[in-house]
Amino acid sequence: MLWALLPLTAGAVTRLPPVWRNDAPPAQRRRDRIDLVTFLDEQGPKFSSADPAVGPPIRPPVLRPPTRGPLNMPPFAPGEGDEIFLATTYPPLGFAGPSGIPPSQVQTDSHFVPVEDRWRIGFQPWDRYNKNYPPGGDFQYVEGSWWDPYNQNVIKGDYPIAGQQTFLNLTAKSIWLFDLRQVPTATTPLESTKNSHQERFFGRPNQFLYFQPMSVSFDLFHGDAGFKQPDWRFKLTGVFNINTLDVEELAVVNPDVRRGTQRERNDWALEEWFFEAKLADLSPDYDTLSVRAGSQFFLSDFRGFIFNDVNRAVRIFGTRHANRDQFNLIWFDQTEKETNSGLNTFGDRHQNTLIANYYRQDFIWPGYTTQLSFHYNRDQASTKFDANDVLVRPDPVGVFAPHEVNSYYIGWAGDGHINRFNISHAFYWALGDDQLNPLSGKPETINAQFLAVELSYDRDWVRFRSSFLWSSGDNDLTDQNAEGFDAIFDRPNFAGGEFSFWQRQAIRLFGINLVNAGSIVPNMRSSRIQGQTNFVNPGLLLLNFGADADITPKLKLIGNVNFLWFHHTLPLEVFTFQDNIRRSIGTDLSLGTEYRPFLNDNLIIVSGIAGLIPGNGFNDLYRPLRGDAPSLFAGFVEFIAEY
């Protein structure tokens, strides 16, 4: 029967609903309809037989109340005195905000209900487990709030703010990093030392870093990006940074020993600002061609071996073959970065980078993606002292003269799985020229190579990994061939990544960095973010064994063991005026955790401990007079909160 599908009020039923008679004459049917509407009005405030413009309060208030009938009503010819049947109006899920579509249609009969805002169709409340939606639970049909980023929310792009296709995504993020570390630290013997009777060259290694970037991002775009590339997009991201460094030796925070052993800085920047527009549709399968101009993030390969940065650029990108293929062509005109925060400034870096790459998914094997790429980097001659009054361009090594470096990278990389085995690999060949390398004191022709391979296997909740990396080193500083590999602006996620001691710490060596923080190759350059590429370096051999374990759905454990060797030590021997430096760097041990208490990325707690057990080559560099160098340790805790 018709009424078997209508909900009845709780408790004892004192009145039966009127019976709808299809065979009654029109006048009787109109009277029966009025009785039916009257009965529904008595069941609660969700039903109304009033004018369509008047009804129960709903959210958002801009919407004209749509109507919803419990069942399709039989057709009838409306006459004088007839009422239009209105039914329950429910709010949309989450926090929908006001509709951007002004009402333009009204309901004219009981069979067709105009719904102009298709995104804000309501759902009937349903407390499936009768628990009244306690905090921390995962429930269907939850009505959200403006401060709730987990459920649907108009300010994170789940509902349009204007029309049907204009969305706004507001993101706020803060990171609190506490980093305790031990790194070789010079004692400045020619000026003064922090304590009396300290030995020559290297002193107390203990350092503490507090680093807190806070960002707010405004992302406005047109088009449902879940199905196709936006028609246009405008994004702004502002960042404010606080950082504190506390050390135990002089001339670390500044070459002027009167500045002491502690440095506190704060800085702000407009890190991202760009406009994007779709130029053309390339196929019926949502393949598009788009352009993006302004300061933007770009990662040139799967693991960030060559370029991983946010900087001003013009990028043309798109897809082909139903998104199976992707391509990028991007030209950077880099800005100078602030020394301590790493944020972009408004000054010119005098550096240009051109990158082109092409991706092919399901190449030979389903699940495996391959990539071909080309990088060109022109680092022009310039002189630069950083914010701490330290010379960073040209490198404070050998010949002091501004020089230009032109380098070209031809690369092939891949990432994915082949049957049950996961694979990630990259090979790059660097060519070009250096007008006057500071260490060799001569013009150099660049000819260097890089290879990295990672194989892994998933067994239940554990992924077992093994990796190998080789970056070529220079074994002859007189032949004018620079054979030590260096990247443009790398930040690799490989062999432990941010948990690895070797990659996380900047290991200083007499005015330059043996390896820079966030890098992996020992490029002997003054700074990863402000120094020039240096292709006269010792190179690296790395062998890694590791595992990633999902202890619980919230907690992940990452462990790695890295064995490190220099490829060639001649550049180090020339730089330190020391013979017979051996190749072994040491053993890098690290253990890290990632904890997501709410099973999402709104709050992440990352922590790690790492240690470097020095090898013979490391001892030769940092303890040439007194035997073995001590083992070095580091630990960090990082809280990431995002809305």
pLDDT of residue 225: 62
pLDDT of residue 62: 39
> What whole-number distance in Å separates Cα of residue 524 and Cα of residue 534?
7
34: tokens are: 């009025």
**Quick one: 111 and 141 in the same domain?**
yes
> What whole-number distance in Å separates Cα of residue 514 and Cα of residue 564?
13
475: domain CATH number is: 2.40.160
8: tokens are: 């009845």
Q: Count structural domains, the chain.
A: 2
With respect to residue 588, please indicate whether it lies within any of the assigned structural domains.
Answer: no
Domain boundary among 101, 126, 161: 161
CA angle, residues 182, 185, 189, in degrees to nearest 5:
155
User: pLDDT, tens digit, for every residue of 184-205?
Assistant: 987 755 455 555 545 556 778 8
**Quick one: 143 and 189 in the same domain?**
no
pLDDT of residue 35: 53
**Quick one: 45 and 13 in the same domain?**
yes
Task: Give the DSSP per-residue string, 314-376.
Answer: EEEEEEETTTTEEEEEEEEEEEEE-TTT--EEEEEEEEEEEEEEEEESS-SSTTEEEEEEEEE
**Quick one: 172 and 146 in the same domain?**
no
**Quick one: 115 and 247 in the same domain?**
no
Domain boundary among 125, 146, 161: 161
pLDDT of residue 51: 42
**Quick one: 147 and 193 in the same domain?**
no
Residue with token string 């100078």: 336
pLDDT of residue 252: 87
> What whole-number distance in Å separates Cα of residue 187 and Cα of residue 508?
12
pLDDT of residue 626: 63
Domain boundary among 111, 140, 161: 161
AA identity, residue 95 = F
User: pLDDT, tens digit, for every residue of 281-339?
Assistant: 999 888 999 999 999 999 999 999 999 999 999 999 999 999 999 999 999 999 999 99
Give 377-424 as a 3 state SS string.
EEECCCCEECCCCCEEECCCCCCCCCCCEEEEEEEEEEEEEECCEEEE
Residue with token string 């790690």: 608
Pick the closest to residue 319 from 277, 290, 276, 355 (CA basis). Answer: 290
Burial environment of residue 196 by CB neighbours within 10 A (0 to 12, 13 to 18, 19 or more): exposed
> What integer is the mean pLDDT of 380-403?
91
Any idea which of 57-61, 84-88, 131-135, 581-585 has the lowest mean pLDDT? 57-61
**Quick one: 138 and 216 in the same domain?**
no
User: pLDDT, tens digit, for every residue of 166-177?
Assistant: 999 999 999 999
**Quick one: 147 and 205 in the same domain?**
no
What residues make up the domain containing 320?
166-554+561-577
